[in-house]
A and B are shown apart, each in its own frame.
Chain A
Amino acid sequence: MPETVELGFAVNGRPATVRVEPRETIADVLRERLGLTGLKVSCDAQVCGACTVLVDGLAVSGCTYLAIDADGRTVATVEGLATDDRLSPLQQAFIDEAAFQCGFCTPGMLMAATALLAENPTPTRDEVVAAIDGNLCRCTGYVPIVEAILRAAKAAR
């Protein structure tokens, strides 16, 4: 067995400690050790964005981000977006605009949009498109997703 190391980080505001192999990705650890299956793995090659999570506020691809690199950092996943069972404005906007069909890309899409809105609360349409250009959606044709993110930005103003 390869050696394991202890990883300590905060996930959605709560401290977590797990022993991981250095080769394990943050996607493996979140999904299989912590039961946070909201993160989805699709292309497994950092192309599709389905596995997007935030590490210290920055959007990263969970399928290639090594778990040990998150040591001492804060990680945010889709499970942390709603507070006290209240949807975030972004989540509500996704429902209002029907910005998903199958929902497999949705957690990653929401996290990419969360990172955008944290950095730029009043994005233009082009800025929204650029922010999610690394997140593939095969169902919707993207238009409702862009609309939802713009709607959420507007709602926050």
Chain B
Amino acid sequence: MIDPRDPGRSAVPSPIGERVPRRDGVAKVTGAARFTSDLAVPGMAVARVMRSPYAHARIRSVDTSAAREVPGVVAVVTAADLADVHLYYGHALADHPLIADGVVRFAGEPVVGVVAEDAITAAEALELVRVEYEPLPVVTTVEAALAPDAPVLHERAAEERPHRGFEERIERDHPNVCSTARQRWGDIAAAFDGADLVVEGTYRYPISYAFAMEPYTSIASWADGALTVWSSCQHPFMVRDDLARCFDLPQSRVRVIVPFVGGGYGSKSYTKIEPLTAALALRARRPVKLALSIDESILTTRGDGAVVRIASAFDLDGHLRGRRAEILLNTGAYAENSPLVGRKAANRIAGPYRIPAVDVTCRVVYTNTAPASSFRGFGAPQGNLAGESQIDEAAERLGLDPLELRRRNLVSPGESLWPGVRGMDADLDADVCLVAEQLDWWSPPAPGRGRAIGISASDAGSEPVTTSVVRVGADGSVTVTAGSTEIGQGSSTVLAQVAAGELGVQLERVEVLQSDTAAVSYDRSTGASRTTTLMGLAIAAAARDARDQLVGWARDTLAAAGGGVEETHGGVLADGTFHDWGAVVRAWFGGAYGEVIGRGYLRREGATAAMPPFWEIGCVGVEVSVDEETGRIRVERLVTVGDVGRAINPQLVESQDLGAAIMGMGMALGEELIWTEEGALLGGSMVDYRVPRASDIPAVTTLLAERGDGVGVYGAKGGGEGALNPVAAAVANAVRRATGVRLREAPFTPERVWRALRERDFGDG
């Protein structure tokens, strides 16, 4: 299409920054969108899993003989049946057997798998399996796990794996410590010795559950020794690599396909039930579907709970001098991604402040509870509750406005939070001021209400190892392949916008293929809010590569010898005449067919050499009320700032910010998984795990700060997790201002708040 006002240009408008409708919209509102749980493959049998009732026990014997006799049962599988499989997987530490290997380490660990013609038969057969256990001592809290007489959960040394997400070796200083992370700079002793004020406290962040509404589901199918897996996972390439290792296959003989994913939030990062499903299919000699229930999903992955002891030193004028912290993360029975969660918790607890000295240790502790792994913002919310609470506590004791105290300490644009990291790619002072303005910070709230502002900056855990292929066909339409997964964040829409913008073609003519390891090129992961930034850059590079080739082709075929070819929006000018990309392809191949293939590679070099590739900012304000009779907190107002550099699609960014902040509100107000000392999960279903409902939602303002300061295309950088991180602390600080009560243990349930109010009034707790 040629622009009638300017024949030298394509008339196609750029979709960058536009609120274009989501590309998955029609599929998702008509029921046509297929999730893994909706799929069936020919000959497929279904699996059910028997789980340990004990939190820690040796398996004495397993008798599966009766179950194997049940008509309709295809296979019954225990670890003993998998001698030819590498049982232990894990992208950081390979400590996790895909099915219990002689020992169970949490109540709910898979012990036996049954494959049958239908789910009811499988469930009935499981009833006939007899397992004898020898119970072992149980630890469910970090304190118990680190006690001198604590049972050791892992006797076997686990292999360290390259995908852990950080460079240093995994450090362990206690048998039940999975990993230790340290963050130190400056002279910490001097910082505290010379301080005018030291604020100390212990804060607890709950064990949480992401509740992606689609439970974990996988289908595995073997043919000619090659493995195909359909799975509700975020990182298909990492799952592929784990499967290749478990089954001794070349990576190219493992294909992982991700249909629509019903929520991720990090909880579908990395490998979950895919190795078990593949092992069951191997023994069944049939395609097998393993579809967990939500109750089983809770036992599969949860968020790390934290105990944080922290001290912050200040000058009289409110300048931060130093911060010390000891973080203990309850990671449950297996490492999963918690070594990285610990690394990030240690990095992030200092907050976005200029602090001369920091000394943080984070120990990731094994306990006999369900394994913890990634969950939105990981490492940041755990420490932010402590760090941001301390900012308000100090402001109160110094007689300063907490906003003013933050402004005195926030790093400036370009300033590094600690030596060697990328300078701050955001204007944090402007962000907090935006929130303050929206929250009417300088006018007093109604009686009984309190306001607070919270902020966080996370070193995005986004290693730039990303590729993309952009193909432009003879009709000028574009096919983009991207290993990034559409988990609801809108990547299929945003990546199409980037490709259309970079090539100057109509958005409707761009198709994005995602998340099939056999069909699309490599992307490390879909997490850490990386996709728009990193895959966006890879697509831009691939589009550049395609355009460069097309300009050369135009020179070869469309311009007279020695004539001029000039690249322009949506095509070329050859001897002054506009040809769109499709015309160049047709001319070069000399007919009506063909395509150009552009390749985009992203690694640590140039703009993405410095780590982190971007800082993910969370900046929120809340106004709360507290029912003094019941202790119930209500968040009345919520303000978020999406400091994303450039919003490729503002509607999607706002939607991410609101979703993240409301999730943070859930953790602040009520979400918590509780294990008894004996190792039983209390409740363990969505009947008990209370997530925010429509009636909990406050009046909301979602702001965007677009300053073009990100490393990504058009100055974009990641968003979508940040708004979760500061919410719990903001709620605690607002409750303090509303009631005088200081809350240090999240979630701030009515019972905890009521007890704190009683203590305030009567001193009797």
Instruction: Enumerate chain A interface residues (CB-CB to B < 8 A).
Output: 31, 36-45, 47-48, 50, 77-79, 81-82, 87, 91, 94-96, 98, 100-107, 110, 129-130, 132-146
Contact = CB atoms under 8 A, between A and B. Distances in A.
B601 interface: no
B444 interface: no
A133 B21 CA distance: 26
B659 A36 contact: no
A48 B685 CA distance: 11
Contacts of B655: 98, 101, 139-141, 144
Nearest to B661: A141
A144 to B, nearest CB: 6
B214 interface: yes
Contacts of B294: 42-45
B694 A45 contact: no
Contacts, number: 160
A17 B35 CA distance: 26
B663 A103 contact: no
A98 B213 CA distance: 18
Contacts of B652: 98
A40 B659 contact: no
A77 B261 CA distance: 21
B691 interface: yes
Given A95-B26, A141-B661, A47 B687 contact: yes
A102 B694 contact: no
A94 B29 contact: yes
A105 B213 contact: yes
B578 interface: no
Given A139-B659, A141-B659, A104 B214 contact: yes
A139 B692 CA distance: 11
Among all A-B residue pairs, the 7 with the closest Cβ atoms? A38-B31, A102-B488, A104-B262, A103-B28, A101-B488, A141-B658, A141-B662
B22 A78 contact: no
A106 B262 CA distance: 10
B293 A106 contact: no
B697 to A, nearest CB: 5
A87 B30 contact: yes
Query: Which of B27, B214, B695 is packed against the most chain A CB atoms within 10 Å?
Result: B214
Contact of A143 (B21, B262, B697): B697
18 contacts: A37-B34, A42-B294, A43-B294, A43-B685, A43-B687, A45-B687, A78-B30, A102-B212, A102-B214, A102-B263, A130-B695, A134-B693, A137-B213, A137-B694, A138-B691, A141-B661, A145-B694, A146-B694
Given A101-B489, A102-B488, A144-B655, A138 B29 contact: no
B702 to A, nearest CB: 9
A136 B487 contact: no
A82 B213 contact: no
A91 B26 CA distance: 8
Contact of B263 (A45, A78, A139): A139
A103 B262 contact: yes
Given A37-B31, A77-B31, A103 B700 contact: no
Interface of B: 21-22, 24-35, 37-38, 210-215, 260-265, 293-295, 487-490, 651-652, 655-656, 658-659, 661-663, 685-687, 691-695, 697, 700
Given A38-B30, A103-B29, A130-B695, 17 more contacts: A31-B38, A37-B37, A39-B31, A44-B294, A45-B685, A45-B686, A77-B31, A95-B21, A100-B28, A101-B488, A103-B28, A104-B214, A106-B28, A129-B695, A138-B211, A142-B693, A144-B655
B29 to A, nearest CB: 4
Contacts of B30: 38, 78-79, 81-82, 87, 91
A140 B658 contact: yes
Query: Which of A36, A44, A136, A142 is packed against the most chain B CB atoms within 10 Å?
Result: A142
B658 A102 contact: no
A132 B38 contact: no
A77 B29 CA distance: 11
A78 to B, nearest CB: 4
B31 A47 contact: no
Contacts of A136: 211, 213, 686, 691, 693
Contacts of B687: 43, 45, 47
A36 B31 contact: yes
Nearest to B657: A141
Nearest to B34: A37
A34 to B, nearest CB: 12
Nearest to B263: A102
B694 A78 contact: no
Given A47-B686, A101-B655, A138 B212 contact: yes
B51 to A, nearest CB: 16
A84 B407 CA distance: 58
B697 A50 contact: no
A98 B651 contact: yes
A102 B29 contact: no
B262 A102 contact: yes
A119 B211 CA distance: 31
Contacts of B25: 94-95, 100
Query: Which of A41, A94, A132 is packed against the most chain B CB atoms within 10 Å?
Result: A41
Contacts of A38: 30-32
Contacts of A42: 213-215, 262, 294, 686
B263 A141 contact: no
A77 B37 CA distance: 18
Contacts of B685: 43, 45, 47
Contacts of A145: 694
Given A42-B294, A140-B655, A79 B31 contact: yes
Contacts of A100: 22, 25, 28-29, 488
B213 A102 contact: yes
A88 to B, nearest CB: 9
A48 B26 contact: no
A135 B686 CA distance: 12
B529 to A, nearest CB: 14
B698 to A, nearest CB: 10
Contacts of A45: 294, 685-687
A109 to B, nearest CB: 10
A143 B700 contact: yes
A146 B659 CA distance: 14
A102 B22 CA distance: 11
A83 B152 CA distance: 62
Nearest to B723: A141
A14 B489 CA distance: 36
B700 A87 contact: no
B669 to A, nearest CB: 14
A136 B696 CA distance: 11
Contacts of A107: 31
B11 to A, nearest CB: 26
B213 A141 contact: no
B21 A96 contact: yes
A81 B26 CA distance: 12
A87 B29 contact: yes
A134 to B, nearest CB: 8
A81 B693 CA distance: 25
B45 to A, nearest CB: 14
A135 B693 CA distance: 8
A141 B620 CA distance: 15
Nearest to A126: B695
Query: Which of B30, B210, B487 is packed against the most chain A CB atoms within 10 Å?
Result: B30
A149 to B, nearest CB: 10
